[in-house]
Structure 1
Amino acid sequence: MTAVSVPAPVAPPRRSSPFAGVGHTMTLAWRSLVQIKHNPMELLDLSIQPVMFVLLFTYVFGGAISGSPGDYLMFALPGIVVQNALFATMTTGFGLNHDLTKGVFDRLRALPIARWAPLAGRILADTVKQAWALTLLLGVGMVLGFRLGNGLLGLLGAFALLLTFSLAAAWISVLVGVLVSEPEKVQIFGFTVIFPLTFTSNAFVPTETMPGWLQAWVQVNPVTILADALRGLLVGGPVAGPVFQSLIWAAVLAAVFAPLAVRALRRRV
C-alpha cells in the first residue's frame, strides 16, 4: 500500500487590522517620498517651480498691477499658493497611473497588506509634499517682504485649510489617474482644467479689474474663494465666510469624486 499525501488546504489571507493598515500606509507613503531623490524632475516641481512663480509674478506683474512688487506680493502670494497646491494634486494621479500601468500596484496588492494602503499611502505622501511646498513658498515670500497679519494662529489655520482642500481635490486626480491610459494624460488634464480655473479667479488680479461678465464667474470660482480664505488667514480681512465656503467646496469634491475614484480603481484592479 502506498500512502497518498494530500496537500493541506491553503488558508485564505487574513484581513489586516486597522492598526496594521495604518502601518502599511506609512510604509508606502515613505516609499513615495524616498523616490524623490531618484526623480530630480519631481524635486523641480516641488521646489524650484513654485519659487520661480513667486519671483516672476512679483517682479514682472507687481509694479503694473499694484504699483510695487511688495504690495503685489501681499495680495498674490496666497493665490500663488492655491495655484501651486491644485497643480500639486495632479502628482497623485500621475504617480497612481504610473504604478498601475507598470504593474507596481498589482505587486503591492498581492502582498499581505491592507487593500486600501497603496492608495492611502500615495495620498498621504502627496499631502506631505503639499506641506513642504507651502512652507517653501511662505519662506521665500517672507524673504521678499511678505508678512503675516494674523500671527501663528492664522498660519496654522491656512495650513489646515489648504491641506484639507488639497486632500479633497486630490480625488479628482485619482479618478483621472485611474481612467487614463498614460501618466502624461494626467498632466494634460491638469493644464487643460486647472490653468483656466486659476487664471479666471482673483488669485493674481483683483476681481474688480475684470470685465463684468467675467466677474460673475470669478465670484463663485472655488479658487477665488480659497484664495480669499488664505488672504484672510495670512494677511487679514474676512475669514469666516471664505473659510466656510472653502470647506463646503472641499466636502462636495470629496463626496462626489472619492466614491467615483474608488469604484473606478476597483474595476481596474
Structure 2
Amino acid sequence: MSTVETTLETRLEKPVIGQWDPLPEVENPKHEGGFGIWVSHSVIQCKRLLYGWARDPATTIQTLIYPALTLLMFHVVLGNSISAATGKPAVYGQVPMITLVAAMSGAVVSALGFKVEKATGLLGRFWTMPVHRAAGLTGRLLAEAVRVLVTTLFVIAVGFALDFRFDQGWLAALAMIGIPVVFGVGFAVLVTALATITEGVMLVSLISIVNTLLMFFNTGFVPVGAYPVWLQDVVENQPMSCAIDAMRGLSYGGPVAEPLLKTIAWTVGIVLVFAYPAISGYRRAAQNSN
C-alpha cells in the first residue's frame, strides 16, 4: 500500500473531533430571567451605550460643552445682577439649575438613540436573543445615571472656577451630587415612555418646551420673589425649583429637608406614573422592531 493510501485510510478512520463526542455539560447553568443575569446584562447594556456615546461628538457636546457654556453665559449676563438683588452669590443657584437642565436635555439624546435602535431592528435582535428582557431598559437608565453624574461633576468643576464651593461639608456635597442623578433617572423614565408613543421630531419639541418652561420659571434662574405673586407658588413647588433649593442648601446653606422631600416626592411620582408606560412601550417597540 502506498504512503498516500495509508495516510488517507488513517484520516478516514480517525473520528472528527466533536462529531461523536458528547457536548460538555454546563456547570451551574443560570436561567436568562434570573436576578444575577438581569444585573450582569444591564451592566453590559450600560457599557454598550456609554461606549457609543463616548464616540459620538454630538453627545459629548450635549453632555459637557453645552452645559458649561450655558453656565458661563448665565454667570456673565445675570450673575452680578442676581447677587446684588438677593445678597447671595448667584452661582449657587445657577450650578444646580444647569446640572438639572443638562440631565433633562441629555435624556432626549438617549430617547432618540432608542428610536434609532428600534428602526434598525437592534431592539428586536436583543429581544430574540438569550438576553434578560428587562436589561435593555434598566441598562439604558443606568447609562443615563452615569451620564448625568459625569455632567454634574463637570458643571461643578466649571462652577469652582466661578467661586462655587461646598460650604456645608463633603457629606452634604455627596448628597448634592446625587440629586441630579436621581432627578435625571426619573426624568429619563418619563422621556422613555414618551419615546415609545411619539415620533422623533415631536419628542424633541415636547421635551424642549418642558425644558424651557422649567428653566425660566424656577428659583435658580431668579429668586421666587421676582415672579408675579400669582405665579410664585407654582414656581416654588415645581420639581426643578425643589431640587435647586435642596442643592443650594447642601452647598451654600439654607433649608434642605423640605425641598429635598419635595424632590424625592416628585421623582417617585414621575416614576410611578410613567414606569408602566415605559416598560410596556419598550416591550412593544422590541417586539415590533424591524
**TM-score normalised by the chain length of structure 1:** 0.89
What is the match of residue 100 of structure 1? Answer: 118
The one-letter amino acid of 1:227's match is I
Structure 1 residues 83-98: aligned runs within 5 Å: 83-98=101-116
Q: Are the aligned partners of 1:207 and 1:215 in contact in 2 as well (CA < 8 Å)?
A: yes
What is the match of residue 95 of structure 2? Answer: 77
What is the CA distance between 1:260 and its match in structure 2?
1.6
Structure 1 residues 50-61: aligned runs within 5 Å: 50-61=67-78
Distance 1:104 1:239 in 2: 44
Structure 1 residues 57-206: aligned runs within 5 Å: 57-67=74-84, 71-182=89-200, 184-206=201-223
The C-alpha deviation readout for 1:205-259, integer Å capped at 9, x for no partner, is 0010111122131122111111101111121100111111111111111110101
What is the match of residue 6 of structure 1? Answer: none
What is the match of residue 238 of structure 2? Answer: 221
Distance 2:250 2:110 in 1: 27
Name the Cα RMSD after superposition: 1.9
Structure 1 gap ranges (5+): 1-13
What is the match of residue 227 of structure 2? Answer: 210
Change (3 A) 1:140 1:117: same
Corresponding residue SS for 2:89:
helix
Q: 1:19 aligns with which of 36, 43, 58?
A: 36
Distance 1:24 1:116 in 2: 9
Q: Are the aligned partners of 1:91 and 1:126 in contact in 2 as well (CA < 8 Å)?
A: no
What is the match of residue 10 of structure 1? Answer: none
What is the match of residue 4 of structure 1? Answer: none
The C-alpha deviation readout for 1:93-125, integer Å capped at 9, x for no partner, is 222222112211111212211001111111111
Q: Are the aligned partners of 1:51 and 1:140 in contact in 2 as well (CA < 8 Å)?
A: yes
Q: 1:39 aligns with which of 32, 56, 63?
A: 56
Distance 1:266 1:24 in 2: 16
Corresponding residue SS for 2:189:
helix
Distance 1:192 1:74 in 2: 25
Structure 2 gap ranges (5+): 1-30
What is the CA distance between 1:48 and its match in structure 2?
0.3
What is the CA distance between 1:80 and its match in structure 2?
1.9
Corresponding residue SS for 1:31:
helix
Q: Structure 1 segments of 4 or more deviating over 6 A?
A: none
Distance 1:226 1:71 in 2: 18
Larger of the two Rg values belongs to structure: 2
